[in-house]
Structure 1
Amino acid sequence: MKNTFTTPADFWQERDFGAKISAVFEFIGAHWRALGKCLVYFVLPGALLMGIGLGMFTNKLYDFTGRATAAQRAGTQLPHMNSPFEFFNFAGLALAMVGGLLAFLLLSGTLYGYVRARMYSPADEPITPARVWAELRARLGRMVGGTLLLGLLGGVGFGVVFGVLMAFGSTLGRGSFAGPVLAVLLGYTLIGYISVSLALYYPVLWLEDNDVFASIGRCFQLIKGKWWATCGLLFTAVFLQSMFTIVFAIPQYAVMMGKMLQLPGLNSDVLGLAAQCLYAVGIIFTYCIPLLALVFQYLNLVERQEGVGLRLLVDQLGQGHTPAAESGHYRPDELGEY
């Protein structure tokens, strides 16, 4: 029997690896209409902004590559460049980065806001965009602050870790490559461990209402002894998401070939923008898969350590209604109400 995810006890459960992956698609199957509507309201504008930026960037790059390829085939002079970066559209690249960051933040907030609203709303109450917006608006500042904090800690930590390890590696290697290589491996291992641990940051921030600093410590507390399980789940979810995005990438590859080979119809800038918008929307929307996988891993770890779902089930015992009797008379061989 498939889980409909309408009560808190449906979410707070211990799940093995396969059950967590199944829960992701069961949740999407049960709520795709209401969740999809919320994603269109809040996430689609950022994804389209990202797609327009990508289209501006790739159109100029592919056009230049097409002219260079045509000149090479014809044996003529390559297009003149005033600078090595002339074929880069930096405005488009900046727009794509801003749109991508905005889309990711809105996607995380919308998805986790929907999960939170569904967990703590009556089972028969539909989750509307207005309900999700109430959750999103209440935690938007905390989410932005948490993102900035992670970015700052990541940049500082990356610099410090590699600076120390490279200095140590240079001393250890004594002029050879062994020390620096070992330092790089150790650095990537440490960064990988921290990154996977902090992958639970947004579920903790949203579902526990912790502040941005306390959520970091909570991540390391929950993942203790389950780092490999979390890493494997995240890798699998991202792999599944990348398989789905291949479908959305086909139009952009067609446009790329059309522009590079200067094929009529396929070398249109408008078509290039449309293809990149479709690709950006596909990437952002399918990213629900790894984000939901992290939610169910968080719920699983909390349930293992604290038994929230078990307590909810115990609290529900004895709250059922006694079925009403259809008649006050029973035959001798009937047991009556029970």
Structure 2
Amino acid sequence: MKETIQFRKQRELGDILSDTFKFIRMEWKPLGSLIIRIPGIALLAVVLSYIYYIRSTVGSFGLNDSSWPGSAITSGFEAVIAVFLLLGSALIFYSLLYGTILFYIKEYVQQDGEVDPRKVERQLRDGIWDLFGLNFLNAIIIVAGSIFCLIPGIYFAVVLASTFSIMIMEKRDITDSIGYSFKLIKGEWWITFATLLVVGILYYIIALIFQVPQYLYFFVRAFTSSAEISGDPGEMFDWIYVALSSIGMMAQYLLQTIMVVATALVYFNLHERKFHTGTLETIESIGKRER
């Protein structure tokens, strides 16, 4: 019999960490296939936008890198367009990533570990616009809170971390999901913050491993070609650096899977602490087996 993870139960910080990586290890093949097929397309757009951003930024500072085919000094307007393209493609990617993983987990929970990828894709298509809207509104709230003071931004980020799970697991609309997230986390903000902080640190350490090659190349090239680069700092951003940087970025974005699974476990933990849904289901299943 296939080993499954019980999502509907209370967990301490250590349990959330261990079950996050356990779930990814157990489901990496079917879940990873969906991630590559659906958010992977948006990730390609993110990488292309990033390459365009580097090219635009280098040009906008008056640097001319001859290693770029057809290179020319670009305008500040082009750099602004590049930033919007990068932010927009990232917003789409995160919406698709959260939707893919959380609809997968929803199916996993409802079907005792058996997931139909076609059903996940169908549910994602039906809910994609709500995911975009929720992601966009969450970003506005967090950024607005961070602008006035960093602390409100952190507070809102922790509270809103469960909104995607609330929307998908409970079929709530955008505003209802955001409003309910404040009720769900009431009295549990600090432990949720600590959990997300630890998971975030682990994510950052793992993601940093994939960025080591670009940093090594950057420093090696800076020392070996100092004279050439001093004449044109844009020489640092050649195709090798961009390729290594793009690989690191792709790994960084895909590793966000860790954060998404962790937020799902946080949601179920908070929900179980308040409503004991999983405990009641376990009692009912025991009663049915004894009849």
Interval of TM-score (by shorter of Structure 1 and Structure 2)? 0.7 to 0.9
Matches within 5 A, 1:157-168: 162=148
* Residues 146 and 154, structure 2, Cα contact 8 Å, conserved in 1: no
- Once residues 250 and 156 of structure 1 are traced to their aligned partners in structure 2, the CA distance between those partners, rounded to angstroms, is 33
* Residue 4 of structure 1: aligned partner: 4
Residue in structure 2 matching 1:299, options 248, 268, 272: 268
**What is the CA-CA distance between 1:35 and the residue it aligns to?**
0.7
The residue that corresponds to 1:27 in the other structure is 23
The equivalent residue for 2:109 is 119
How do residues 59-98 of structure 1 correspond to structure 2 at under 5 angstroms? 59=55, 89-98=79-88
CA spacing shift, 1:53–1:256, aligned 2, 3 Å: farther
Give the SS at the match of 2:269. Answer: helix
Q: CA deviation at 1:15?
A: 0.6
What value does the CA root-mean-square deviation take over the aligned residues? Answer: 3.4
**1:305 Cα offset (Å):** 0.9
TM-score normalized by the length of structure 2: 0.81
- Opposite residue 44 of structure 1, the aligned amino acid is G
Distance 2:80 2:155 in 1: 33
Amino acid paired to 2:104: Y
State the partner residue of 1:150.
Answer: 138
**Counterpart position of 1:227:** 189
Using the alignment, how far apart are the partners of 1:251 and 1:61 within structure 2?
22
Is residue 48 of structure 1 aligned with residue 44 of structure 2? yes
Q: Does 1:250 align with 2:212?
A: yes
Instruction: Tell me the alpha carbon deviations over residues 188-228 of structure 1, each in whole angstroms, 9 at most, x when there is no partner.
Output: 33333233212211111111111111112211111111111
Secondary structure at the residue paired with 1:11? coil
**Relative to structure 1, is the Cα distance of residues 248 and 234 closer, same or farther in structure 2, using a 3 angstrom cutoff?**
same
Given that residues 222 and 302 in structure 1 are in contact (C-alpha distance below 8 angstroms), is that contact kept between their aligned partners in structure 2? yes
Q: 1:36 aligns with which of 12, 32, 38?
A: 32
- 1:92-119 CA deviation, whole Å, 9 max, x = no partner? 4333222211111111111111111111
The answer to whether the 8 Å contact 1:34/1:127 transfers is no
Does the 8 Å CA contact 1:51/1:273 hold for their aligned counterparts? no
Pick the aligned partner of 1:133 from 121, 124, 128: 121
The one of 138, 143, 156 equivalent to 1:194 is: 156
1:310 corresponding residue in structure 2: 279
Is residue 15 of structure 1 aligned with residue 15 of structure 2?
A: no
Q: Distance in 2 between matches of 1:50 and 1:107?
A: 13
- 2:162·2:181 contact (CA, 8 Å) conserved in 1? yes
Residues in 2 aligned to 1:282 and 1:64: alpha-carbon distance in whole angstroms: 28
Q: Report the count of equivalent residues.
A: 275
- Paired residue secondary structure (1:12): coil
Max Rg structure: 1
Q: Which moved more, 1:46-55 or 1:25-34?
A: 46-55
Q: Does the aligned pair in 1 maintain the 2:8–2:268 contact within 8 Å?
A: yes
1:246-281 superposed Cα distances (whole Å, 9 cap, x missing partner) = 122123324544765369xx9684434432331221
TM-score, normalization: structure 1?
A: 0.70
Is residue 110 of structure 1 aligned with residue 100 of structure 2?
yes
Higher helix share: 2
Classify the secondary structure of the residue corresponding to 2:214. helix
